[in-house]
Structure 1
Amino acid sequence: MSNKELNLTKDMFAPAHIDPSKSEKIAKPSLNFWQDSWLRVRKNKGAVVSMIILVIMIIMAFVGPMITPYAYDTQNTKHNNLPPRIQGLENVHWLPFDGTLSRRDGTKYNAYEVRKVDEYYWFGTDNLGRDQFARVWKGTQVSLFIAFMAALIDMAIGVAYGAISGYLGGRTDSIMQRIIEIIVGIPNLIVVVLMILVLKPGIIPIIIALTITGWTSMARVVRAQVLKFKGQEFVLAAKTLGASDSSIIFKHMIPNMFGVIIINTMFSIPNAIFFEAFLSFIGLGLQEPHASLGTLVNAGFKSMIAFPYQMIIPSIMIALIMVCFNLVADGLRDALDPKMRD
């Protein structure tokens, strides 16, 4: 084909006009590490939805006991074992909030009408007539408090122990690692149960029991990071300028491993919630009238066949919290890992 048939002209081969003032213009805004990480987290829909659910649950853990007219520890035996009933949804029979229960022969009846109760209990009541709505959110508050405190203490002890062990090295590192191996070698459940039996059940004893062995994984991760950073240029430069060992560890090394620390802390929170629920379920958790999600599941398990809602609702709360924290931690791991940058 000729140039005329292809409609080619000399103007198509003219050099492009380049504006020198725009040659070094940066089209994309400059982002720091945390801004870039947040943009990467937003791409993970599961992590974003889990964050929203966790924020709602944390808010409700503090607001929930206040928006119901019943206190979590107030007993009213005349209203015991009432099923959930929500005003406005009581006539929607396919929802489990109409106040009905099933007899042994399979027939259903409205427990509120039979017992002539005019109040509304959104999550029902337990065997002592206490409002389950207030108790579930109070239990969520207590469980989250125990988990967050245990995770923060684990982080503080593990970061300090691992950083010192990895930085000093030699015989000190060897001795400190043998101590960790001894602690890890003892079954975690035995240590926690013994501590609960010695200190007696309560919020503070449970936190102490969870932190006795919980910090070891954080210490090992931080030690590995310190060993990796110890020979890098910024540490050698700090030594050359006369920085002290504590300054190098806590001002130069630890800020460079914030991502790893945050991720491990996020994973340790659901583990602490599960362990607290397990202790409460076997009777070593909080004692009456205090409530946690584990104690509510334990109390509901005893009457699961007749009143299943007493166990199902707190069980759903535990499952939601654990799944959401794991999804958020997974999203943060992908966002804060430099190797995952696209």
Structure 2
Amino acid sequence: MADKLDKYTKDMFEPAKIDSSASERIDKPSLSYWQDAWLRVRKNKAAVASIFILLFLIIMALVGPFLTGYGANTQNLPHANMPPKIQGLENISWLPFDGTRASKDGTIVNVYEQKNIEEYYWFGTDGLGRDLFTRLWKGTQISVYIALLAAFIDMVIGVAYGAISAYYGGRVDSVMQRIVEILVGIPNLVLIVLLILILEPGIISITIALSITGWVGMARVVRGQVLKLKAQEFVLASMTLGSDNKRIIWKHLIPNLAGVIIINTMFTIPSAIFFEAFLSFIGLGLKAPLASLGTLIDDGFKTLRLYPHLLLFPAIVISVIMICFNMLADGLRDALDPKMRD
């Protein structure tokens, strides 16, 4: 018993030495607003998946037209309306890439063997013998370009207009908001159609048509946020220190609106892509031989029952782009909007 008691020394019963400064030490590094937002986006699996899918589609839009070696506008009438055929997948009968198609009597025929064609057309060809794979990614490139350009113009005009209107207030705000109400009162589709009819159809005219009223929504959102922020203490402190109006707007108010601006821009992009496709579908978009997702869908719709692949691939691409942009916008909204935080 004594041996067991000898193991316990007097030093073991001394009070613990606690460093009071260590209790307030922050072991983990502090996170900035954007680092915290990125961590929240990473938790949203749908948003992360959308980012990778959109990056893949954008890369394919840039390099896709050069992969097959066919020109986007190169016509080859003997190879018109060929079904899809991909090397390595042609022997898998349950995949639609074996070069076969149902004939008028219902039998399955290999069109490539029937026409003695040795080339491979991964997504088939259209009625003029143009490679659909090349035209699809070229059309995706043009559609995304128009949407991004229109969204950028909407963002610049909407942010500047809304911020100036809310910050100066009074008569300036009243006049600027009456202009916005007039534009909102005019049907968007009618205004865009009239503008495209006046201008020569093309990328620039479609972009102007999409931007002429597209900035109104951004301007209203920014105006509401600036009205709330301009009465905050940091703005009053900046005024007290002698900052002019331009500095207050661009150095204090706009950075605090970055989250709202990004979210609204991300929702604008799929809307612009869909509207461009709609204009091209009804014949008011790009003219031949230029291709966009809308013109490809229009061409495929005309021959849907005979050659469904002409509509299938553009429809899949535009659907995936719109879904991914909307899911990414939802993820950014949850991460950047404080009201959506858990």
Q: TM-score, normalised by structure 2?
A: 0.94
- Asked if 1:320 corresponds to 2:320, the answer is yes
Distance (whole Å) between structure 2 residues aligned to residue 286 and residue 15 of structure 1: 83
Q: Tell me, what secondary structure is at the counterpart of 1:321? A: helix
Distance (whole Å) between structure 2 residues aligned to residue 89 and residue 135 of structure 1: 21
The AA in structure 2 aligned to 1:291 is: A
Q: 1:300 to 1:234 in 2, by over 3 A?
A: same
Distance (whole Å) between structure 2 residues aligned to residue 178 and residue 15 of structure 1: 75
More off after superposition, 40-49 vs 26-35: 26-35
Distance (whole Å) between structure 1 residues aligned to residue 287 and residue 113 of structure 2: 33
Q: Tell me, what secondary structure is at the counterpart of 1:93? A: coil
Q: 1:250 to 1:122 in 2, by over 3 A?
A: same
Q: Alpha-carbon deviation of 1:16?
A: 6.2
The AA in structure 1 aligned to 2:153 is: I
- Asked if 1:173 corresponds to 2:173, the answer is yes
Distance (whole Å) between structure 2 residues aligned to residue 121 and residue 271 of structure 1: 31
Q: Tell me, what secondary structure is at the counterpart of 1:215? A: helix
Distance (whole Å) between structure 1 residues aligned to residue 16 and residue 130 of structure 2: 79
Q: Tell me, what secondary structure is at the counterpart of 2:257? A: helix
1:201 corresponding residue in structure 2: 201
Which aligned pairs between 1:33-48 and structure 2 lie closer than 5 A?
33-48=33-48
Q: Alpha-carbon deviation of 1:340?
A: 3.6
Q: Tell me, what secondary structure is at the counterpart of 1:101? A: strand
Distance (whole Å) between structure 2 residues aligned to residue 22 and residue 154 of structure 1: 51
- The 8 Å contact of residues 80 and 130 in structure 2, kept in 1 or not, is answered as yes
- The 8 Å contact of residues 83 and 123 in structure 2, kept in 1 or not, is answered as yes
1:154 corresponding residue in structure 2: 154
Q: Please give the root-mean-square deviation of Cα atoms over the aligned residues, in Å.
A: 1.6
Q: Tell me, what secondary structure is at the counterpart of 2:304? A: coil
2:10 corresponding residue in structure 1: none
Which aligned pairs between 1:296-315 and structure 2 lie closer than 5 A?
296-315=296-315
Q: Tell me, what secondary structure is at the counterpart of 1:23? A: helix
- The 8 Å contact of residues 41 and 47 in structure 2, kept in 1 or not, is answered as yes
Q: 1:28 to 1:109 in 2, by over 3 A?
A: same
Q: Alpha-carbon deviation of 1:17?
A: 5.6
Distance (whole Å) between structure 2 residues aligned to residue 167 and residue 160 of structure 1: 11
Q: 1:172 to 1:111 in 2, by over 3 A?
A: same
Q: Alpha-carbon deviation of 1:341?
A: 3.8
- The 8 Å contact of residues 40 and 335 in structure 2, kept in 1 or not, is answered as yes
Q: 1:303 to 1:15 in 2, by over 3 A?
A: farther
CA deviation vs aligned residue, 1:273-298 (integer Å, no higher than 9, x gap): 00000000001110111100000000
Identity of matched residues, %? 67
CA deviation vs aligned residue, 1:191-241 (integer Å, no higher than 9, x gap): 110111000210000000000010000000000011001111011111111
2:226 corresponding residue in structure 1: 226
The AA in structure 2 aligned to 1:72 is: A
Q: Alpha-carbon deviation of 1:106?
A: 2.1
1:23 corresponding residue in structure 2: 23
Which aligned pairs between 1:88-107 and structure 2 lie closer than 5 A?
88-107=88-107
Distance (whole Å) between structure 2 residues aligned to residue 339 and residue 160 of structure 1: 24
Distance (whole Å) between structure 2 residues aligned to residue 163 and residue 21 of structure 1: 46
Distance (whole Å) between structure 1 residues aligned to residue 184 and residue 49 of structure 2: 35
The AA in structure 2 aligned to 1:292 is: S
Which aligned pairs between 1:1-342 and structure 2 lie closer than 5 A?
18-20=18-20, 22-342=22-342
Q: 1:317 to 1:16 in 2, by over 3 A?
A: farther
The AA in structure 2 aligned to 1:299 is: D
Q: Alpha-carbon deviation of 1:54?
A: 0.1
The AA in structure 2 aligned to 1:310 is: L
More off after superposition, 158-167 vs 100-109: 100-109
- The 8 Å contact of residues 61 and 137 in structure 2, kept in 1 or not, is answered as yes
Distance (whole Å) between structure 1 residues aligned to residue 218 and residue 61 of structure 2: 28
Distance (whole Å) between structure 2 residues aligned to residue 287 and residue 121 of structure 1: 24
The AA in structure 2 aligned to 1:188 is: N
Distance (whole Å) between structure 2 residues aligned to residue 161 and residue 254 of structure 1: 12
1:8 corresponding residue in structure 2: none
Distance (whole Å) between structure 2 residues aligned to residue 164 and residue 21 of structure 1: 48
Distance (whole Å) between structure 2 residues aligned to residue 218 and residue 337 of structure 1: 15
Distance (whole Å) between structure 1 residues aligned to residue 134 and residue 114 of structure 2: 24
2:8 corresponding residue in structure 1: none
The AA in structure 1 aligned to 2:33 is: F
CA deviation vs aligned residue, 1:247-289 (integer Å, no higher than 9, x gap): 1111110000100000000000000000000000001110111
1:9 corresponding residue in structure 2: none
- The 8 Å contact of residues 333 and 340 in structure 2, kept in 1 or not, is answered as no
CA deviation vs aligned residue, 1:311-332 (integer Å, no higher than 9, x gap): 0100111100000000000000
Gaps of 5+ in 1: 1-12
The AA in structure 2 aligned to 1:154 is: D
